[in-house]
Amino acid sequence: MAQMDTLYDENEHKCLRFSELVEGEGVQANQFLITHGEHAAVLDPGGDLTYTPLTIALSRQVDMQSLDYVLASHQDPDIIASLPRWLMHTNCQVVTSRLWSRFLPHLSSNFVTGRLDQQLEDRIVSLPDSGAAIPFGDAELLALPAHFLHSVGNFSFHDPVSGILFSGDIGASMGGEEGEVTDFERHKQAMLGFHQRYMASGKACRLWAGMVRKLEPTMIVPQHGGYFRGPEMVDAFLRWL
C-alpha cells in the first residue's frame, strides 16, 4: 500500500518520502518531494510504474503546474523514465548530470519535434561533474558528486534547510527495514550484495563518505529501502560504506 512519510516540516519547508507505489512486478523505489514556500522539487520520480500514483499523491501537496524541478540522481529507468510526462504535464526543469543530459531526448522522442524540440534544451539543467548549487526560492539545493557509486554520472542531493541528504542508490537496501532504520547490524545485510556488485570502488566510497561527513547531515535517505536518522545511524552507515 502506498505510503507517505514526513521527514521534515518546519517554517514552510517540507520534505516528504513516498514509498510502496509499485504494484505487481517491479523494484520498489522511494520518491521525494521538497517544498520551500511556493517552490517544489521532486527527486527521482521513477518511470511508468510510479508516475500515476506519485502524481496523485503530489497533487494533494502542491500545484503540479508550479513544480520548479525534477531532480534525477542518474539515468536509470526507476529514476527518470517518466521524463516525457513531466515535460508535457508540468513546467519543471530537469536537473541531471551533463554526462546524461545529452541522452534525455532518447527518453522523450515523442516530444522532441517542432516547438517542444526548441524548448527541450531550455528545460534541462546540466550539472558539471563538480556539482552545483540549485536556486530554490530564497534557499538552495546542493547537487553533490557521487560518481562511480552505481553510475559514472551520479549525484546526491543535499537540502541544507532540513539537513537531509538524498543519497540515490547509495545506502539502498532490498528486504531490510523500511522507513527509519533502527537495527543497523541487521539492516546492513540487506545492503551488502547491492553495494558489492554496483559500487566496487572503495576509493569512490571513501571520497563520498568524507564529503558527506563534512556536511553533518541529519539524515541519509536512499532511493530504495530504509533511511538513517540521527548522528549515530548516519555515522554507522558511513563507517560501513
Segment 137-172, tens digit of pLDDT: 999 999 999 999 988 889 999 999 999 999 999 999
* Predicted pLDDT at 182: 95
* Predicted pLDDT at 171: 95
Predicted TM-score (pTM) of this structure: 0.90
Nine-digit cell string for 164: 537531509
Distance CA 30, CA 84 (A): 20
Average pLDDT, the chain: 87
Residue 141 Rama label (left phi>0; alpha psi -120 to 50; beta): beta
* Predicted pLDDT at 1: 52
| Residue 116: pLDDT band with limits 50, 70, 90 | very low
Is the per-residue pLDDT at 21 higher than 70?
no
Is the per-residue pLDDT at 114 higher than 50?
no
Contact, 167 vs 195, CB < 8 A? no
Number of Cβ within 10 Å of residue 126's Cβ equals 16
Q: Smallest Cα–Cα separation from 145: which of 159, 161, 164, 158?
A: 158
Q: Give per-residue burial for 186-202: e unless 16+ CB within 10 Å, then b.
A: ebbebbeebbeeebeee
Q: Report pLDDT digits (tens) over 93-113.
A: 999 888 877 776 666 655 544
Q: Smallest Cα–Cα separation from 150: which of 81, 87, 222?
A: 222
* Predicted pLDDT at 111: 53
In percent, the amount of the chain with pLDDT more than 90 equals 54
Nine-digit cell string for 185: 547490524
Nine-digit cell string for 15: 520534505
In Å, how far from its chain's centre is CA 169? Answer: 9
Q: Smallest Cα–Cα separation from 7: which of 133, 156, 161?
A: 161
Is the per-residue pLDDT at 183 higher than 80?
yes
